[in-house]
Structure 1
Amino acid sequence: METVTHSSPFDSFLDRMRNPASLDLVRSIKSFIVSFSYTASNPETDGKRIQEFFQTMEDAIRDHPLWASSSDDETDNALEGLEKYVMTKLHSRTFASTPEDVKIDAEISEKISLLQTFLRPQHLDIPSALQNEAAWLANPPQLHSNLKFIQLYRRQSKLVSEAAYYLTNLVSAKSFIVDLNAKSLSIEESEFMESMEAARLVNRVPQETVTTINKRSIFGKLMDPGPSTPVHVKTQTNVNGGSSGSNYPYMEAEAGELTVGDVERLLSLYKDVVTKYTSLCNTVRHLSVSRTQRHDGLLREPNGTHKDTCSKETEKRS
């Protein structure tokens, strides 16, 4: 039985570009791509140039003999293939191409990461019927650069209708995250600042742990066992006169002092650090939720009405 294969729009576009009859189109495409290397990078200007090129090529493809008998869908597939080819070639020039883009990507990602430790649907007044905890875990990488890339370089004829609606919502969500503060949420400003600071503390722990491990070059030592004598553990005296070096004895050790025999204990200590870090994360999250619940309980009467804290205290005294 003969197998029927369906090529993708991109493969179909490349196949036609290999046809000798497409030589004029190929030259135009390559000339455009090369010309980018001779101009200074400017996202706004680059976006306009690319959009103008796509429009010029669309007219050329529609009038070209290779697509003379093509349907609108076939022509559109060719334009999709053209866009993919051009933007793949120009990706390093057009995606996250400025230090500012890289900086904004990092700031947004960090802010989302901090907010995820304590922010809950009720802080955004989202009704329980519309809450989706799974969606709460998303932190898309390079959100700013991806949205900017689509806005500048996606063929404008495709950014209409439903696609434009979704893109507009994503851009709005990004702007909301960038500007988000206590006034944007149903949360006291002091609690918001407190929770953000606790989140920063939690998020710093893993990086500091990784940095410490790298500095010790533990895995490097496995390649070169060295002497079999265990490292001499340095002990410190705490304020109560007791030993403070027994739980984490390698804090004062140098990389050259470690041996293969120390790996088992280091692994145990590493697991202990991870366990405590996880516990800290859960504690911070639990405290944030508890504060929110206590706050709601203090300000809300059983029938759903609000009453200020001062009034409650007055009632107690009377």
Structure 2
Amino acid sequence: MEGSSSSSSSSSSSAIFYDFLDRMRDPASLDLVRSIKRDHPLWAGATDEEVNCAMEGLEKYVMTKLFSRTFASSPEDAKIDCETSHKIHLLQTFLKPEHLDIPVVLRNEASWLVNPPQLHSNLKFIQLYRRQTKLVSEAAYYFTNLVSAKTFIFELNAKSISIDEIEFEKSMQDARLTNKATEKGATHALEEMTASQGQTDPGSSAASHYKGRSGSSNYPYVDKEAGDLTVGDVERLLSAYKEVVTKYTSLCGC
């Protein structure tokens, strides 16, 4: 009974929260937010532009604080993220522009290499928490297209594109087998590298592994300590991190 009561309370709280979100997405809620700000001495006499900037800042501040609780916070979201990324990875091995009836002049096969991590969670986060007054015009157009593309990919089958059903299923199966072989090879290589390092110092081993023929490191941060880094290194490290994550998810298909 106690567990049932707890579950009921949790469901009720969740329903109240999403009801609150629905109300706050209503354009009429802007009057409420503006009235709160204009009554505050810090925004007394503020222009509409200043209030709008304050609201943007408030949204970013609040959602940054709540990010870990609101982004990809459910097992279902994580599952859809993984399935979407995995399917994109499989489709990349054989899907061509002609299968989608894309005119030659509009083809850009470089886009076939794109597999954004946590695509579903990112789109859901924007849908739930971005101010609806900002999802209009051009922004709404691009966002709607992205949501439609994700849905199309997630539900895609042989009937969705110009390809024989048997050929489609065979291509998907071949892609799955190739993916499993790649994962197995990567795992084996990692195990061998770990075993070969043995008791050696991982720092010096990694540094020597990444030395170029000239004797200088091809990876400027591999032999650095935390104290050696500067504020200017953060952007470069973040960019490198994102690249690694993208390549890893493409390799593992998840």
Greater RCO, 1 or 2 (C-alpha within 8 Å, sep 6+): 2
Structure 1 partner of 2:153: 177
Q: CA deviation digits over 1:162-188, x for unaligned, max 9?
A: 222221111111110111011111110
Structure 1 residue ranges, 4+ long, deviating more than 4 angstroms after superposition: 39-43, 49-52
User: Out of 82, 87, 93, which is 2:58 matched to?
Assistant: 82
Structure 1 partner of 2:250: none
Structure 2 partner of 1:189: 165
- Give the distance between the partners of 1:174 and 1:160, measured in 2 at CA: 20
Superposition deviation, residue 160 in structure 1: 1.8
User: Out of 210, 218, 242, which is 2:195 matched to?
Assistant: 218
Going from structure 1 to structure 2, the CA distance change for 1:123 and 1:219 (only over 3 Å counts) comes to: same
- Which secondary structure does the structure 2 equivalent of 1:75 belong to? helix
- Give the distance between the partners of 2:196 and 2:33, measured in 1 at CA: 55
1:51, 1:155 within 8 Å by CA — same for their partners in 2?
A: yes
Going from structure 1 to structure 2, the CA distance change for 1:92 and 1:50 (only over 3 Å counts) comes to: farther
Going from structure 1 to structure 2, the CA distance change for 1:41 and 1:204 (only over 3 Å counts) comes to: farther
User: Out of 14, 21, 32, which is 1:47 matched to?
Assistant: 21
Q: CA deviation digits over 1:26-82, x for unaligned, max 9?
A: xxxxxxxxxxx9x85568457337658x74433311343322332222211110000
Aligned length: 189
TM-score (norm 2): 0.66
Residue identity opposite 1:99 in structure 2 = P
Structure 2 partner of 1:146: 122
1:41, 1:93 within 8 Å by CA — same for their partners in 2?
A: no
Q: CA RMSD in A?
A: 2.8
1:141-290 aligned at under 5 Å gives the runs 141-216=117-192, 217-221=194-198, 223=200
Structure 1 partner of 2:41: 65
Structure 1 partner of 2:111: 135
Superposition deviation, residue 134 in structure 1: 1.8
Superposition deviation, residue 88 in structure 1: 0.5
- Give the distance between the partners of 2:156 and 2:78, measured in 1 at CA: 20
Q: CA deviation digits over 1:178-207, x for unaligned, max 9?
A: 110111111101111111111111212232
- Give the distance between the partners of 1:70 and 1:164, measured in 2 at CA: 28
TM-score (norm 1): 0.54
- Give the distance between the partners of 1:143 and 1:166, measured in 2 at CA: 14
2:38, 2:45 within 8 Å by CA — same for their partners in 1?
A: no
* Unpaired stretches in structure 1, ≥5 consecutive residues: 1-36, 225-318
- Give the distance between the partners of 1:86 and 1:98, measured in 2 at CA: 20
Structure 1 partner of 2:221: none
- Give the distance between the partners of 2:79 and 2:20, measured in 1 at CA: 20
Going from structure 1 to structure 2, the CA distance change for 1:206 and 1:49 (only over 3 Å counts) comes to: farther
Superposition deviation, residue 125 in structure 1: 0.3
Going from structure 1 to structure 2, the CA distance change for 1:78 and 1:122 (only over 3 Å counts) comes to: same
- Give the distance between the partners of 2:177 and 2:24, measured in 1 at CA: 44
Going from structure 1 to structure 2, the CA distance change for 1:46 and 1:137 (only over 3 Å counts) comes to: farther
- Which secondary structure does the structure 2 equivalent of 1:100 belong to? helix
* Unpaired stretches in structure 2, ≥5 consecutive residues: 1-9, 202-254
- Give the distance between the partners of 1:47 and 1:198, measured in 2 at CA: 44
